[in-house]
């Protein structure tokens, strides 16, 4: 099977989550540590978010293939620094554009000392709400199409454009299964947020592991030997 080929019709959300939990449960402590550290580093230093995500997926691929989760594996994500960095940039760019279009004008007006009338304020708020709602829908669709981009960079050694294109094609061909996966993931995330808000960190390994399980149902295989040897 070549890197751009994929299978269809194999994603069943609840089955993916059951397999993901069975996969990470024996090593949950170390996997949780790796995910939390990787996310905290990526959150604190945006430049490193891409490599950290690649490192996390390398660990999860290892676990999926029956190998031990190793903390040092997280640093191997730097092998994919450029495509991972560019992917994060592409993901974040629409958010920046949204901020510039919706919020920058009002911030500029506030700093300039200009005041809106009540009618102008309500018009602005309603317009901003509509624009944000449309934006959220579009971004959800966009991020859904990118679901397998990081795994493809790690697993297939694709560049950022190839990873995005291949992910989008695979997601579109498995849209029903991927949508149900997102639905279950949303419920799991909501459950995590209800646990004093910090519970989201407890469920992130499960959500990411379910992505790996779903990915392997579409792109069967194992990591290339060169990547495995880099542990």
Banded model confidence at residue 1, pLDDT cuts 50, 70, 90: very low
List the structure tokens of 84.
Answer: 């991972």
Cα angle 115-118-121, degrees, rounded to a multiple of 5: 70
- Contact between 155 and 221 (Cβ < 8 Å): yes
Q: Specify the higher pLDDT residue, 93 or 199.
A: 93
Average pLDDT over residues 78-107: 84
Question: What pLDDT is recorded for position 201?
Answer: 83
- Measured CA to CA, the distance from residue 3 to residue 160 in angstroms comes to 14
Residue with tokens 């991972």: 84
- Of the ranges 59-63, 100-104, 150-154, which one carries the lowest mean pLDDT score? 100-104
In angstroms and rounded to an integer, the radius of gyration of the C-alpha atoms of the chain is: 20
Phi-psi region of 113 (alpha: psi -120 to 50; beta: other; left: phi over 0): left
- Contact between 43 and 200 (Cβ < 8 Å): no
> Which residues have C-beta within 8 Å of that of residue 68, sequence separation ≥ 6?
27, 62
- Measured CA to CA, the distance from residue 161 to residue 89 in angstroms comes to 12
Average pLDDT over residues 86-109: 78
Question: What pLDDT is recorded for position 10?
Answer: 82
Banded model confidence at residue 216, pLDDT cuts 50, 70, 90: very high
Query: What whole-number percentage of the chain has pLDDT above 90?
Result: 59
């Amino acid at each position: 099977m070549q890197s751009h080929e994929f299978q269809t019709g194999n994603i069943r959300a609840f089955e993916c989550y059951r397999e993901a939990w069975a996969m990470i449960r024996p090593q949950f402590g170390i996997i949780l540590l790796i995910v939390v550290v990787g996310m905290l580093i990526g959150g604190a230093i945006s430049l490193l978010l891409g490599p950290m995500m690649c490192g996390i997926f390398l660990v999860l691929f290892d676990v999926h293939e029956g190998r031990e989760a190793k903390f040092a594996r997280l640093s191997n994500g730097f092998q994919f620094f450029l495509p991972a960095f560019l992917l994060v940039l592409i993901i974040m760019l629409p958010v920046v554009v949204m901020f510039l279009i919706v919020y920058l004008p009002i911030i500029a007006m506030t700093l300039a000392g200009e005041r809106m009338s009540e009618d102008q304020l309500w018009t602005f708020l309603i317009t901003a709400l509509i624009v944000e709602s449309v934006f959220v829908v579009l971004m959800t669709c966009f991020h859904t199409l990118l679901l397998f981009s990081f795994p493809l960079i790690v697993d297939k050694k694709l560049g950022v454009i190839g990873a995005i294109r291949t992910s989008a094609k695979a997601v579109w061909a498995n849209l029903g299964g991927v949508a149900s996966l997102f639905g279950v993931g949303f419920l799991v995330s909501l459950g995590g947020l209800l646990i004093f808000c910090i519970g989201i960190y407890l469920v992130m390994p499960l959500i990411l592991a379910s992505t790996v399980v779903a990915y392997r149902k579409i792109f069967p295989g194992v990591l290339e030997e060169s990547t495995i040897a880099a542990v």
